[in-house]
Amino acid sequence: MNKYTAAEDRYEKMIYRRCGKSGIKLPLLSLGLWHNFGNTTSFENSRQLLRTAFDNGITHFDLANNYGPPYGSAETNFGKIFKEDFQAYRDELLISTKAGWDMWPGPYGNFGSRKYLIASLDQSLKRMGLDYVDIFYHHRPDPSTPLEETMGALDQIVRQGKALYVGVSQYSAGQTAKAAEILRNLGTPFIIHQPRYNMFDRWVEDGLLDTLEKEGLGSIVFSPLEQGILTSKYLDGIPADSRAAIEGGYLDKNKITPRLLEQVEQLNEIAQNCDQSLAQMAIAWLLKDDRVTSVLIGASKTSQLKDNIAVLQNLKFTKEELIRIEDVLIEVV
């Protein structure tokens, strides 16, 4: 392993967008560590992904307590790489983590109690070797814990100095507005929502983005490539090294139907006419709405990261291109 020095021109390559009404700017592309950072993948590859991202101005790395596999291992591996490569750059980085899904056995390792969130963040900080995270998220709504308790835990975490800002993920528009009201009254720096959003999953257009704008919140959208489906990679079958090839993984290969591939093929043709890869077009399509602060990509190879980052050369669409895309998407069931 050679010693890492970040590329000097890293800030010339990226565009940054303000996160809602906060003082923080996020890179248009951020890197998520859900896949490709656990113990079942190459540690050196994980390191190269982080280095390539930062060298290109990606200042934001997104984690969660349960990223792996096994749970926790993405944070542990990130911590090792951070210590060796990124310690000197801590103040140039925004590092986030989350809690909300099942993490440890028993009634206190899941959902949204104060006990779970505080204990989980303490564990995350230990695994990553950090004193604080920049953003701490509640990972999903909890139907049985009072929202006041969950938001109170986020507030406490900030007051303890363990997170600078807080966010929520997977909350509906209504839940987000309620959370914003509670946190506003507490004086907690709630700045961001992390929803799922891509060409094939557009639920945020139905009220959430309006709510975020109204509340002065930013957004970082996950699975922008529908876990890889919105690239050309599945057009000729399922590659052995792809996410869909992992048995029991999160991307069920049965989801990739001939009908879906037909639509992907049509989108791919539009992308080619725009001189873009489909991945680039799918990312640019999300960024055309400036209520999307950042697009949270995953990558298993540095070549994918580079392909995706090259979207910055071409973020514009003509009206006709948008109509052609819409015509394809309208048929998505």
Query: Which residues here bind ligand NDP, judged by CB under 6 A?
Result: 32-35, 62, 139, 169-170, 194, 222-228, 231, 233, 242-243, 279, 296-300, 304, 307-308
Exposed e or buried b for every residue in 81-109, given b needs 16+ CB within 10 A? bbeebbeeeeeebbbbbbbbbebeeeeeb
Task: Give the shortest CB-239-to-ligand NDP separation in angstroms.
Answer: 7
Radius of gyration (C-alpha) of the chain in whole angstroms: 19
Q: For ligand NDP, give the closer residue by CB, 199 or 320.
A: 199
DSSP conformation class of 238 = -
SS3 content of the chain, % helix, strand, coil (to 5): 45, 15, 40
Task: Give the shortest CB-250-to-ligand NDP separation in angstroms.
Answer: 8
Q: For ligand NDP, give the closer residue by CB, 194 or 211.
A: 194
Asked if residues 308 and 296 have their Cβ atoms less than 8 Å apart, the reply is no
Task: Give the shortest CB-22-to-ligand NDP separation in angstroms.
Answer: 19
Task: Give the shortest CB-221-to-ligand NDP separation in angstroms.
Answer: 8
Asked if residues 275 and 314 have their Cβ atoms less than 8 Å apart, the reply is yes
Q: For ligand NDP, give the closer residue by CB, 114 or 196.
A: 196
Stretch (H or E) spanning 9:
none
Task: Give the shortest CB-57-to-ligand NDP separation in angstroms.
Answer: 17
Q: For ligand NDP, give the closer residue by CB, 57 or 224.
A: 224
3-state secondary structure of 10: helix
Task: Give the shortest CB-34-to-ligand NDP separation in angstroms.
Answer: 3
CA distances from 58 to 21, 42, 114, 234 (A): 21, 21, 32, 27
Q: For ligand NDP, give the closer residue by CB, 141 or 224.
A: 224
Q: For ligand NDP, give the closer residue by CB, 54 or 222.
A: 222
Q: For ligand NDP, give the closer residue by CB, 188 or 308.
A: 308
Q: How far apart are CA 121 and CA 317, in angstroms?
A: 41
Task: Give the shortest CB-296-to-ligand NDP separation in angstroms.
Answer: 4
CA distances from 42 to 12, 38, 51, 135, 254 (A): 30, 8, 14, 27, 27
